[in-house]
């Protein structure tokens, strides 16, 4: 019989920093997704509504599931200290972009998927073919956070991230549901205490209460998931975020001493601090090269260009207005991302915001 300890040791050998086991049970926390969806907090993420039944019951993901092996992978790397414009009405900034830390590395869907398949292959080499297994990495219909907390990988912080007492919250969660009856681990206690730093620091008030995120207000949603225009009231709050937002993790005391990962998979090209004006003046092909190989490819070039226009508008330097006339690479081509109504709308907003700040 395969033991939990053997599975965890192999997971660590394959490069996972944390591994625990949760029962494939109807955990009470799984029901909160339905309430969250009913409040409209998912916005345009209709795929969450469509997959809600599966996400609420791991047995709909794998009918024979008895155990959920959950892995945590540290992706913490040094990042440049990129100045924030500081929100609505603040002084000008350089137009340097900020990029969520997880996008620094390889596309984690691919890299972690490979490691999980290797873990399953090892389990089959040890136990034979007589069991079912299904891997999950973010895009699959599993509430990783709930099972991670149940498996003792950390507690769910008030910023909604799983926090490990030694590794912090810069963790990619993934795992394997299996029909094998592995001995489960237990949850850790909540160690947020009276702290409210993440709620107080969120620029958009997206953390409406501890552990409750209104995604429609979250900069990660606005810059990555939202296909349409960013609501005008939220555009100043996007500040200089090109892709995602890490503020509620950056301020968390549990991340102050979080170790850096030595795993080369998460040490890709540094994109933080790139000049929005330079990126804007790239052709679509060159802009695609900027994001290639990372999770940033999960959003469209038009959305990235929309975000760039907002960043330029928020940078507050009126001299940047003329840059908006020069998106690079054959803009007469109707297929150029800058020609889309989505981007044109953001450009018009950026022009007007920069004009407001020009000396009169």
Beta strand extents in the chain (DSSP E only)? 18-23, 67-74, 98-99, 133-136, 155-156, 162-163, 171-178, 207-209, 212-213, 241-243
SS3 assignment, position 111: helix
Query: Binding to ligand SF4 by residue 119, rule CB under 6 A?
Result: no
Question: Which CB atom, from 253 or from 328, has the smaller least distance to ligand SF4?
Answer: 253
Catalytic residue among 138, 190, 263, 345: 138
Q: Are 156 and 149 in contact (CB under 8 A)?
A: yes
Near ligand SF4 by CB under 6 A, which window of 28-36, 180-188, 193-201, 308-316?
193-201
> Closest separation between CB of residue 44 and ligand SF4, Å?
16
Q: Is 329 left (phi over 0), alpha (psi -120 to 50) or beta?
A: left
Which residues sit opposite 99 in a β-bridge? 243
Query: Binding to ligand SF4 by residue 206, rule CB under 6 A?
Result: yes
> Closest separation between CB of residue 194 and ligand SF4, Å?
8
The secondary structure of 55-69, three-state, reads HHCHHHHCCCCCEEE
Q: Report the site for ligand SF4 in 249-268 (rule: CB under 6 A).
A: 251-254
Q: Report the site for ligand SF4 in 154-173 (rule: CB under 6 A).
A: 157-159
Active site (annotated) includes residue 345: no
Q: Are 195 and 155 in contact (CB under 8 A)?
A: no
Size of the site for ligand SF4 (CB under 6 A): 24
Q: Are 15 and 263 in contact (CB under 8 A)?
A: yes
Print the binding letters for residues 208-237 with ligand SF4: x by CB under 6 A, - otherwise.
-----x----xxx-----------------
Count of CB atoms situated within 10 Å of the CB of 325: 10
Query: Binding to ligand SF4 by residue 133, rule CB under 6 A?
Result: no
Interface with ligand SF4 (CB under 6 A): 157-159, 192, 195-198, 202-204, 206-207, 213, 218-220, 245, 247-248, 251-254
Active site residues: 138
């Amino acid at each position: 019989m395969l033991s939990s300890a053997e599975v965890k040791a192999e997971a660590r050998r394959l490069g996972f920093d944390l591994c625990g086991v949760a029962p494939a049970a109807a955990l009470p926390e799984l029901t909160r997704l339905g309430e969250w969806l009913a409040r409209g907090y998912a916005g345009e993420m209709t795929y969450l509504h469509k997959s809600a039944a599966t996400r609420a019951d791991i047995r709909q993901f794998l009918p024979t599931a008895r155990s959920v092996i959950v892995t945590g992978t540290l992706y913490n790397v040094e990042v440049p200290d990129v100045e924030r414009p500081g929100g609505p009405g603040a002084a000008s900034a350089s137009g340097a972009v900020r990029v969520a830390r997880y996008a620094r590395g390889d596309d984690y869907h691919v890299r972690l998927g490979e490691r999980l398949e290797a873990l399953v292959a090892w389990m089959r080499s040890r136990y034979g073919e007589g069991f079912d297994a299904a891997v999950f990495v973010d895009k699959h219909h599993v509430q990783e956070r709930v099972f991670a907390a149940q498996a003792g990988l950390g507690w769910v912080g008030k910023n909604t991230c799983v926090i490990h007492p030694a590794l912090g919250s810069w963790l990619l969660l993934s795992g394997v549901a299996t029909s094998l009856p592995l001995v489960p681990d237990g949850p850790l206690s909540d160690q947020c205490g009276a702290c409210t730093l993440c709620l107080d620091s969120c620029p958009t008030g997206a953390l409406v209460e501890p552990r409750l995120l209104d995604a429609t207000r979250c900069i990660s949603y606005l810059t990555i998931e939202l296909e349409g225009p960013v609501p005008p009231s939220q555009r100043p709050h996007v500040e200089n975020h090109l892709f995602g937002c890490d503020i509620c993790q950056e301020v968390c005391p549990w991340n102050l001493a979080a170790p850096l990962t030595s795993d080369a998979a998460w040490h890709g090209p540094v994109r933080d601090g790139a000049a929005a004006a330079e990126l804007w003046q790239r052709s679509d092909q060159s802009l695609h090269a900027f994001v290639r190989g990372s999770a940033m490819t999960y959003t469209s070039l038009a959305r990235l260009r929309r975000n760039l226009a907002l960043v330029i508008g928020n940078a507050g330097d009126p001299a940047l207005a003329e840059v908006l006339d020069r998106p690079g690479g054959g803009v007469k081509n109707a297929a150029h991302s800058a020609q889309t109504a989505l981007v044109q709308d953001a450009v018009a907003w950026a022009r007007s915001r920069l004009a407001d700040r020009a000396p009169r």
